A and B are shown apart, each in its own frame.
Chain A
Amino acid sequence: MQLSDGEIVEQVKSGQNTNIAFRALIEKYQERLYWHVRRMIIDHDDTDDVLQNVFIKAWKGLANFREDSNLYTWLYRIATNESITFINKKKKENNISIDDESYHLHAGQADYLMDCDAIQEKLEKALLTLPEKQRAVFHMKYYEDMKYTQISEIVGTSVGALKASYHIAVKKIENYLIKN
């Protein structure tokens, strides 16, 4: 039986069945968070590291979790921040721009494109040209069909700014697809 978010938080906070509750949390959100992080970072191993850190941070913060935001949004916020931090760290380490699609292609992280058809490959390459935060917004809106209000809570940006960001991302991708 799957525990509700409220039950998970309550059990972790009460200190009873903490391990069971935390396992339930991981099993409930692991796939959605994995794909959210993976779409930003692309490489599986890096995604695995980041995702583990996301859950460790959640474990540490859950006892102080304020229920004024919901668990789902809170976890997404941690995952987004962790992903962006990871990308920025990589940027510094490699001294190149990760926004540049060449970063992923040269870093040997573009093997997945081998399995794509030509048009999908173009789309993936177009996504890699977006700045990381814009890419996160695009994924949440386009692939995960999230509401702007939800995305706004996750990335801490106003709904208006998010709409503008999404529209800019869509235009960039469209231009890339047409040009290439």
Chain B
Amino acid sequence: MNKENENIENEELMKMAPTLFGMKKKNNLKAPEGYFSSLADTVKVKIDNEIPDGYFENLADKVIDKIEKEKTKVIPIQKRNIARVIYVAASIAAIFIVGFLFNQNNTIAAIASDDNYLENLTNSELDEAIYYSEMEELICYLDFEENFNEASQIEKSIYDIDLDVIPDDINEYIGSEYYLDIEF
């Protein structure tokens, strides 16, 4: 403000409000010590920690996108195969152990009556038994994984039957009075 304007305004103030004009322009308020030396840092921290504008508007979309991506995440075939092999191997081992214990308890009489029970089995019969156990386990696993087609194919290949086509004699049996007599 130039001097001339200042004088005019002062004159106006003096005429309009002589009491106010006669008073000192004094600041009666006080700021805490050191306040101004830390304000810039305080503001910076607040800015850095602020939630960005529109954050909540987009949050739902972001979460849904992420869920969709997770859903369509493809497990590499190699990884899946390794998992399958481990699962099958563990299952086979478990079958052997359980089977061994089961046979020890339940076939003890049979074994007792025939000391040569195992010795009587040929190598090919043993191999066949093991093969069927493995395949049964694999079918169970595939069913569990809901790979019904694969399970059905394996079942068909090892037992040589078509599960989709029920033979006439079985149909006949189901329709017969003997079937109805069976108590479950």
Taking CB atoms and an 8 Å cut-off, the chain B residues in 1-47 that contact chain A are: 1, 6, 13, 16-20, 23, 25-32, 35-36, 39-40, 42-44, 46-47
Q: Look across to chain B and name the residue whose beta carbon is closest to the beta carbon of A177.
A: B19
A26 with B39: CB separation less than 8 A: yes
The one of B16, B19, B30, B40 in contact with A30, judged by C-beta atoms closer than 8 angstroms, is B40
The one of B29, B32, B44 in contact with A39, judged by C-beta atoms closer than 8 angstroms, is B29
> For B29, B32, B36, B47, which residue has the most chain A Cβ atoms within 10 angstroms?
B29
Question: Distance (Å) between the CB of A172 and the closest chain B CB?
Answer: 9
> For B30, B36, B40, which residue has the most chain A Cβ atoms within 10 angstroms?
B40
Chain B residues near A120: list those with CB within 8 A.
Answer: 23, 26, 28
Chain A residues near B47: list those with CB within 8 A.
Answer: 56, 59
Chain A interfacial residues counted at CB < 8 A:
39
Q: A34-B36, A59-B47, A147-B1 are in contact. Are A177 and B20 (CB under 8 A)?
A: yes
Chain A residues near B13: list those with CB within 8 A.
Answer: 170
A34 with B31: CB separation less than 8 A: yes
Tell me, yes or no, whether B70 is within 8 Å of chain A by CB. Answer: no
Taking CB atoms and an 8 Å cut-off, the chain A residues in 146-180 that contact chain B are: 147, 167, 170-171, 173-174, 177-178
B20 with A174: CB separation less than 8 A: yes
Tell me, yes or no, whether A23 is within 8 Å of chain B by CB. Answer: yes
A145 with B36: CB separation less than 8 A: no
Question: Distance (Å) between the CB of A104 and the closest chain B CB?
Answer: 12
Complex formed: what's the CA distance from A2 to B30 in Å? 25
B43 with A56: CB separation less than 8 A: yes
Complex formed: what's the CA distance from A22 to B44 in Å? 9
Question: Distance (Å) between the CB of A7 and the closest chain B CB?
Answer: 17
B29 with A38: CB separation less than 8 A: yes
A112 with B20: CB separation less than 8 A: no
The one of A35, A52, A143 in contact with B25, judged by C-beta atoms closer than 8 angstroms, is A143
Chain B residues near A31: list those with CB within 8 A.
Answer: 36
Chain B residues near A171: list those with CB within 8 A.
Answer: 16-17
Taking CB atoms and an 8 Å cut-off, the chain A residues in 1-52 that contact chain B are: 19, 22-23, 26-27, 30-31, 34-35, 38-39, 42, 44, 48, 51-52
Question: Distance (Å) between the CB of A17 and the closest chain B CB?
Answer: 14
Q: A34-B35, A56-B43, A170-B20 are in contact. List 8 more A-B contacts (CB 8 A).
A: A22-B44, A30-B40, A52-B43, A56-B47, A119-B23, A123-B23, A145-B6, A170-B17
7 nearest CB pairs, A to B: A174-B17, A26-B40, A177-B19, A55-B43, A170-B17, A116-B28, A23-B40
A-side residues, CB < 8 A to B, are 19, 22-23, 26-27, 30-31, 34-35, 38-39, 42, 44, 48, 51-52, 55-56, 59-60, 112-113, 115-116, 119-120, 123-124, 142-143, 145, 147, 167, 170-171, 173-174, 177-178
